[in-house]
């Protein structure tokens, strides 16, 4: 009886966690809100043509990664992810954006193999998914409408 109950509880918990995972969006609502701003788009649009190309998106996030990676070992641990941001990094994004990026929930989202560090590869792959989700026309360019389009469901 007891073990049956345990199995039932485990099943229920399993169902709940699966539901949470499948309903979860790529990024947190706070991150989407702070990232999808025209001010942020300007920072990503390196050549100033009012479009953010996939190359610009990757270049930007490579720069962010390099600034987060304080000990330059090619991966971000929790203290680097959530820690105080360098002055150079503060130039790369708004305070709101950097605060939301520094959330543990965002680190978990980017940490594809769940080893509690985010490698540059994981970070850029994750950001590539964000780009793909925003690039609804699939032309590897984000115009301002795509950039601010609803990224998080609900
Ligand atoms: Ca551009
Ligand atoms: Ca590091
Ligand atoms: Ca990892």
**What is the distance in A from the centroid of ligand 2 to the CA of 109?**
17
DSSP E strand boundaries for 42-107: 52-53, 75-76
- Full-model pTM: 0.83
| Cβ atoms of residues 28 and 105 within 8 Å | yes
**What is the distance in A from the centroid of ligand 2 to the CA of 13?**
34
- Residues near ion ligand 3 (CB < 5 Å) are 111, 113, 115
Report the Cα 153 to chain-centroid distance in Å: 15
**What is the distance in A from the centroid of ligand 2 to the CA of 125?**
17
CA distances from 109 to 46, 66, 72, 76, 122 (A): 26, 19, 21, 13, 10
Measure the CA dihedral 130/134/140/142, to 10°. Answer: -120
Tell me the pLDDT of the chain (154 aa) as tens digits.
567 767 666 666 565 554 444 345 899 999 999 999 999 999 999 999 999 999 999 999 999 999 999 999 999 999 999 999 899 999 999 999 999 999 999 999 999 999 999 999 999 999 999 999 999 999 999 999 999 998 886 5
**What is the distance in A from the centroid of ligand 3 to the CA of 115?**
5
DSSP 136: T
Partners of 75 in beta bridges: 119
Dihedral of alpha carbons 128, 134, 138, 139, sign: negative
């Amino acid at each position: 009886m007891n073990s049956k109950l345990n199995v039932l509880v485990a099943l229920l918990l399993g169902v709940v966690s699966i539901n949470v995972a499948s309903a979860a969006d790529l990024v947190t609502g706070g991150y989407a809100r702070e990232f999808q701003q025209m001010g942020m788009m300007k920072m990503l649009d390196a050549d100033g043509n009012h479009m953010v190309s996939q190359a610009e998106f990757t270049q930007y996030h490579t720069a962010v990664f390099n600034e987060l990676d304080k000990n330059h070992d090619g991966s971000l641990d929790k203290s680097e992810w959530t820690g105080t941001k360098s002055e150079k990094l503060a130039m790369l994004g708004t305070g709101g954006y950097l605060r939301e990026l520094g959330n543990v929930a965002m680190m978990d989202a980017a940490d594809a193999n769940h080893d509690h560090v985010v490698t540059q590869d994981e970070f850029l792959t994750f950001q590539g998914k964000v780009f793909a989700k925003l690039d609804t026309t699939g032309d590897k360019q984000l115009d301002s409408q795509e950039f601010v389009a609803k990224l998080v469901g609900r």
